[in-house]
Amino acid sequence: MPYQKLADSARPLFLKGLPKSRYERQFAHLNILANYKDSAYKFDNVGKLQLIFKKMNAYGHMGARKFWTTNLRTICFHNPQLPIEVQRVDCPTKEEQLKCPSILKVYFKDGKTKKIDCKNKQHDDIMKELVQLTHAVKIPESKIPIFSRRSYEERIAKD
């Protein structure tokens, strides 16, 4: 069967709004990763982050899941030395699901540990609370890399 081009309305949801070119789509993903909204911070006094939430989104765990998939990726990008653990707990019964915690543990380099309760919170609120708790430094716009085909081709031409 020959290759058939998909109509715009038939494109998968995760591709909507992204360029059609494969390279341009990859650059768009990298730009989202490097500069997700209000997530580009440097955590100098943090030794480790540990996020615990359940696999299913019910009962207030959606914010922690969105934080994991969006904000935490940008934190990893700008803090490669920072170890991050994610524990997704499987809770088969409703009673266990109601008791399951949704917590972000922050281990500081001086040995202190603090917890952020993520239950019934939006991912943006979790990020704001993490920044306030750790006194993280926002990375200036000029230091955040912007990926494009032109910059990629210029980099290859230098080599």
- Find the CATH number of the domain harbouring 94: 3.40.30.10
Task: Report which of residues 67 and 5 the model is more confident about.
Answer: 67
Average pLDDT over residues 2-11: 59
Residue 14 has pLDDT above 70, yes or no: no
Tell me if 77 is assigned to some domain. Answer: yes
Tell me if 135 is assigned to some domain. Answer: yes
60: left (phi over 0), alpha (psi -120 to 50) or beta: left
The domain in which residue 122 lies consists of: 41-143
One-letter amino acid for residue 71 of the chain: N
Query: What is the pLDDT, as a whole number, of residue 16?
Result: 62
Q: Each residue of 30-81: pLDDT tens digit?
A: 877 778 788 889 999 999 999 999 888 778 788 889 999 889 999 999 999 9
* Number of structural domains in the chain: 1
Tell me if 159 is assigned to some domain. Answer: no
Tell me if 30 is assigned to some domain. Answer: no
* Contact (Cβ atoms closer than 8 angstroms) between residue 15 and residue 26: no
Residue 7 has pLDDT above 80, yes or no: no
Q: Label residue 12 by pLDDT band (50, 70, 90).
A: low
Tell me the CA end-to-end span of the chain in Å, nearest whole number: 40
Query: What is the pLDDT, as a whole number, of residue 5?
Result: 61
Distances (CA, A) of 44 to 1, 38, 41, 125, 131: 55, 17, 9, 21, 11
Query: What is the pLDDT, as a whole number, of residue 129?
Result: 95
> What string of DSSP letters covers 62-103?
HHHHHIIIIIHHHHHHH-TTS-EEEEEE---SHHHHHH---E
Pairing mode of beta strands 113-117, 103-108: antiparallel
Tell me if 158 is assigned to some domain. Answer: no
Tell me if 112 is assigned to some domain. Answer: yes
Tell me if 48 is assigned to some domain. Answer: yes
Distances (CA, A) of 122 to 32, 99, 149, 158: 19, 19, 34, 44
Task: Report which of residues 148 and 107 the model is more confident about.
Answer: 107
Tell me if 71 is assigned to some domain. Answer: yes
Q: Each residue of 87-134: pLDDT tens digit?
A: 999 988 888 888 888 999 999 999 999 999 999 999 999 999 999 999
